[in-house]
């Protein structure tokens, strides 16, 4: 489903701030794999997401989604294959437009947008049912401006938007990090529901090791722009935070001294 071959990306090349964010990273995802991605700050997790999304082009290497080489495909065209939820709840929705309008925009992802009506009555009805599955009461606020919703509600709506047109790959970039623990748990539950319903191939970045272990069927750990650990199957099921930390030390041959990674246990 996804094939990343040896990608490199360096920011601010030739300046004092030069930073090699992706360093020959390769990764292959099979259909239906739900991969959680962990790693310290600056490991290249978000850079990987942006490389896939096409926010900019990689310096070297190639990205193939479902047999199509998208390495040089602009972001808006690549969106056809991707569902995305961002860390910042305000990033994924248009705040001055209604919930229904946001969903209608998302349902046309990858299709040409012409002079047909932007949202039909039948669509509104189906969105109502869809919103009801979130159990947030949003089905009664169909035309409310998204800017009026809370962070958790927005992330839930963004999740719906990302999955409305079944994406080849769902990209979740720490989408629960900005939420309070209770809301984060609820959004994560919704995430799992949506992923298992459509058997979506997913990449989910998280700072929370417990979440990384408890969710998905494969786990990768990144460090210095490459994947240093790749665990799947039975091994993933039996994983604990302690063994994960130990494994990381073995693989990276350096102590896992990243405070933020430890603090977010």
Using CB under 8 A as the criterion, which residues of the chain lie in contact with another protein when the complex forms? Answer: 53, 75-77, 79-80, 82, 84, 86, 90-97, 101, 104-106, 108-111, 113-119, 161
Compute the least distance from the CB of residue 253 to another protein, in Å: 38
Compute the least distance from the CB of residue 197 to another protein, in Å: 21
Judge whether 238 and 206 are in contact, CB under 8 Å.
no
- In the bound state with another protein, the residue whose beta carbon lies nearer, of 24 and 74, is 74
Compute the least distance from the CB of residue 177 to another protein, in Å: 17
- In the bound state with another protein, the residue whose beta carbon lies nearer, of 104 and 187, is 104
Compute the least distance from the CB of residue 108 to another protein, in Å: 6
- In the bound state with another protein, the residue whose beta carbon lies nearer, of 12 and 112, is 112
Rounded Cα–Cα distance for residues 106 and 158 (Å): 9
Judge whether 172 and 155 are in contact, CB under 8 Å.
no
DSSP 248: H
Q: What is the CA radius of gyration of the chain?
A: 19
Rounded Cα–Cα distance for residues 86 and 83 (Å): 10
Rounded Cα–Cα distance for residues 65 and 110 (Å): 14
- In the bound state with another protein, the residue whose beta carbon lies nearer, of 116 and 129, is 116
Compute the least distance from the CB of residue 246 to another protein, in Å: 34
- In the bound state with another protein, the residue whose beta carbon lies nearer, of 129 and 182, is 182
113, burial (CB in 10 Å: exposed 0-12, middle 13-18, buried 19+) = exposed
CB neighbours of residue 189 within 10 Å: 12
- In the bound state with another protein, the residue whose beta carbon lies nearer, of 78 and 218, is 78
Nearest-10 Cα torsion for 63, 67, 68, 71: 10
Compute the least distance from the CB of residue 47 to another protein, in Å: 16
Judge whether 37 and 222 are in contact, CB under 8 Å.
yes
């Amino acid at each position: 489903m996804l094939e990343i071959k040896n990608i490199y990306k360096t920011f601010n090349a030739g300046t004092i701030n030069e930073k090699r964010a992706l360093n020959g990273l390769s990764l292959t995802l099979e259909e239906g794999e739900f991969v959680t991605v962990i790693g310290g700050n600056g490991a290249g997790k978000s850079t990987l997401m942006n490389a896939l999304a096409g926010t900019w082009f990689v310096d070297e290497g190639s990205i193939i989604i479902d047999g199509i080489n998208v390495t040089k495909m602009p972001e808006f065209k690549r969106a056809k294959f991707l569902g995305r939820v961002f860390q910042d709840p305000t990033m994924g929705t248009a705040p001055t437009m209604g919930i229904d309008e946001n969903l209608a925009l998302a349902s046309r992802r990858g299709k040409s947008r012409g002079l047909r009506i932007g949202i039909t009555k039948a669509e509104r009805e189906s969105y109502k049912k869809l919103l009801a599955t979130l159990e947030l009461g949003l089905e009664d606020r169909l035309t409310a401006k998204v800017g009026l919703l809370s962070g958790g509600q927005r992330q839930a709506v963004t999740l719906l938007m990302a999955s409305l047109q079944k994406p080849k790959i769902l990209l979740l970039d720490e989408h629960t990090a900005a939420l309070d623990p209770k809301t984060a748990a609820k959004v994560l539950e919704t995430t799992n529901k949506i992923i298992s319903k459509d058997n979506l191939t997913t990449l989910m970045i998280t700072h929370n090791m417990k979440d990384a272990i408890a969710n998905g069927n494969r786990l990768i750990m990144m460090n210095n722009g490459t994947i240093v650990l790749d665990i799947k199957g039975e091994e993933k099921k039996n994983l604990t935070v302690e063994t994960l930390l130990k494994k990381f030390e073995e693989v990276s041959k350096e102590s896992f001294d990243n405070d933020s990674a430890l603090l977010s246990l």
